[in-house]
Amino acid sequence: MRAYDIIEKKKNGEDLTQEEIEFFVNGYLQEDIKDYQMSAFLMAVCLKGMTNQECSFLTSSMLNSGERIDLSRIEGIKVDKHSTGGVGDKTTIILAPLVACFGVKVAKMSGRALGHTGGTVDKLESIDGINLAIEKEKFFKIVNEIGCCVISQTSNLVPADKKIYALRDVTATVESIPLIASSIMSKKLASGSDCILLDVKVGDGAFMKNTKDAIDLSRLMVEIGDSFKKKVVSIITDMNQPLGNAIGNFLEVWEACEVLKGRGPKDLRNISIYLAAHMLNLAEKGSFEKCEKMAKEAIDSGRAFEKLQEMISALGGDISVLLEDEYPNKSKIVYEYLSDFEGYISEMQADKLGKAAMILGAGRQSKEEYIDPYAGIILNKKVGDEIKKGELLAMLYSSSVNRCKEGENILKNAIKISNVKPKAEPLIKAKITNQGVEKYSLL
Ligand code: URA
C-alpha cells in the first residue's frame, strides 16, 4: 500500500477501505507518512467528504491509536457530555455536579481552549490549588465517592487525534463534518462512558455555521455511537452570541457557581437544566419531564452547588472564594465599555467576542502562551436588550490597559445596535437520536 495512491483515490472521490484508512492513520503516527501527505489527505477529505462507513473506520483507527479508559470500577451508569466548542460555554461545570446529585456518574476528561473557544480545563484551573492532572486511581476514587470528577485528558487518549488536530488547525481543514465527527467520537469512545450527550453548537461562534450542517454532524456522531453500542443523543444549540454573560476562565467558573446558587443568567440556567435533564434521562432516571424537575430541584436546594464544592476540594482546589457573595475581582484593570449609541442590541458575534477575551489574556494565541485566569469580559446586555447612549455594555478584565483598548476595538465590531428590536433566536434548535431528528424553537 502507498500513501500516494490513497491520497489520489480520495482526491478522485472514491471510497477508502478500512485497511487503507488504518494504514494512513497508523503510518502517520509512526512517522512513515509525513505531515505533507497527511495534509493532502485531510484536504481531499474536506473537499470530497467520506461515507458514514469510511467515517466509522476513521473513528476506530483513531480510537485504537491509544489507551481506552476502562470505567468498570466505577459503579452505576456513567454519562459523558461533550460540547463542540463555543464562547462562554461553562455548562460542564454545572452539569457534572448536577446529575451526580442523582447517582449518575460523570467521569469526564476535558480539553483546553481551541482558538476563540474556551476549554473546561483552563476554566477549572483558574481555581487556586486545583490539580486536574491526577492519576487514574484517584480519578476513579473521586467519581465513586462524590459522583463526578473532571480531569485533563491523558496524553495517551487518542494520540492520533492530537497529532492530526494540530495539523488540521494550521491547514484550514478543521471544518469538515467527517473529520470533526471522528475526532470527537474517538475521544468520547476512548473515555469509556455508557451514554454520551452531545451539545452541537451552531452559529457564527461555532464550527457549524448552519442548522443543516449541525444536524448532519449530529446524525453521523449518533450513528457512530450506535455502531459502538453506545447511547448517544445530540442537542443543537445556538452559538450566535455567547452563552451567559461571562467569557474568561475564572469569570466563567464564578458564573457557573451563580447558576448553581440559583442565580445567574437565564439562558445559562435554562440550557443547563435542559441538558442535565437529557443526561438523567439517558441514565434512565425517568421521563424527560421528571428529570427536568429533578434538575431544577437540585439547583434550587443548593445540593448541586455543594456537590461542585466537594469535587473541587477533592481535586485540591480552594473553594472559599466561590462562597463569597460579590465577585472577588483579582484583575489589575477593570475597564467599563460604554455604548456610543442607543437602540436594541441586534448582534453579539460570539467568535469576535471570544477573540476579544483571548486578547485580554483569557486564551492562548500560541501553544506556549500563559493564560491570565482572571482576564475576560462580562456582558451587561445581550441580543434583544435595549441600551442607552453612555450605558454600560460590558466590563473588560485584564492585566494591561493596552489589551483593554485592543479588546474594546474588537467589541466595537462585534456588537451591533439597531433601532428595531430583533426577533429572539431560540436557544435549542433540534434533538437527534437514533430514532431521528426533532426540530424545535425552544427556550
Ligand atoms: N472538537 C474536537 O474535539 N474535534 C474537532 O474536530 C472539532 C471540535
Q: Which domains does the chain have, with CATH numbers?
A: 3-49 (1.20.970.10), 79-156+168-322+427-442 (3.40.1030.10), 333-418 (3.90.1170.30)
Dihedral pair phi/psi, residue 192, rounded to 5°: 85, 5
Closest CA to 217 of 80, 52, 351, 439: 52
Alpha-carbon distance values, 430 to 61, 199, 212, 234, 378 (Å): 30, 10, 10, 8, 28
> Residue 202 above 80 pLDDT?
yes
Active site residue 209: no
Question: Would you say residue 205 has pLDDT above 90?
Answer: no
Ligand 1 atom having least distance to the Cα of 174: 6
Residue 187 annotated in active site: yes
Q: Residue 67 has which C-alpha cell?
A: 489507551
Confidence of residue 169 (pLDDT cuts 50, 70, 90): confident
Distance CA 198, CA 192 (A): 15
Q: Which residue's C-alpha comes closest to atom 3 of ligand 1?
A: 184
- Whether 325 sits among the annotated catalytic residues: the reply is no
What is the model's pLDDT at position 367?
A: 64
User: What pLDDT sits at residue 204?
Assistant: 86
Q: Provide the pLDDT for residue 155.
A: 81
Instruction: Give the Å distance between the CA of 174 and the centre of ligand 1.
Output: 8
Q: In the block, which residue shows the cell 462512558? A: 193
Give me ligand 1 centre to Cα 390, in Å.
Answer: 40
Q: Which of 78, 81, 82, 307 is catalytic?
A: 82
From the candidates 65, 183, 191, 398, give the one annotated as an active-site residue: 183
pLDDT band at 154 (very low <50, low <70, confident <90, very high): confident
pLDDT for the residue 417: 96
- Which phi and psi (to 5°) does residue 395 adopt? -105, 135
Task: For the chain, state the CA radius of gyration.
Answer: 22
- The finding on whether 191 has its CB within 6 A of some atom of ligand 1 is no
76-80, 111-115, 218-222, 286-290: least confidently modelled range: 111-115
Is the CB of residue 353 below 6 angstroms from any atom belonging to ligand 1?
no
Hey, whose CA ends up nearest to atom 1 of ligand 1?
Answer: 84
Q: How long a stretch of residues is the chain? A: 443
Q: How far is the CA of 35 from the centre of ligand 1 (A)?
A: 19
Q: What is the mean pLDDT of residues 138-146?
A: 97
- Residue 263, pLDDT > 90, answer yes
At 115, is the pLDDT very low, low, confident or very high (cuts 50, 70, 90)?
low
Q: End-to-end distance of the chain based on CA atoms, in angstroms?
A: 53
Average pLDDT over residues 412-438: 94
Burial 335-369 (b: 16+ CB within 10 A, else e): bebebeeebbbbbbbbbbbbbbbbbbbbbbeeeee
Mean pLDDT of the region 95-103: 98
Can you tell me the distance from the alpha carbon of 209 to that of 371, in angstroms, rounded to the nearest whole number?
A: 28
* DSSP H/E element including 338: strand 333-338
82: annotated active-site residue: yes
What confidence tier does 153 reach under pLDDT thresholds 50, 70, 90?
A: confident
State whether residue 24 is helix, strand or coil: helix
381 catalytically annotated = no
Confidence of residue 114 (pLDDT cuts 50, 70, 90): low
With 0.75 as the threshold, say if the pTM is over it. yes
Top mutation candidate among 108, 112, 165 for ligand 1, by most atoms within 8 Å of CB: 165
Predicted local distance difference test score (pLDDT) of residue 146: 98
Q: DSSP states of 145-169 as a string?
A: HHSEEEEEPPTTSSHHHHHHHHHHH
Q: How big is the CA angle at 132 (ends 126 and 135), to the nearest 5 degrees?
A: 165
DSSP of 219-283: HHHHHHHHHTT-EEEEEEEE-SS-SSSEESHHHHHHHHHHHHTT-S-HHHHHHHHHHHHHHHHHT
Looking at the chain, the whole-number percentage of residues with pLDDT higher than 70 is 99
Task: Give yes or no for residue 33 having a pLDDT over 80.
Answer: yes
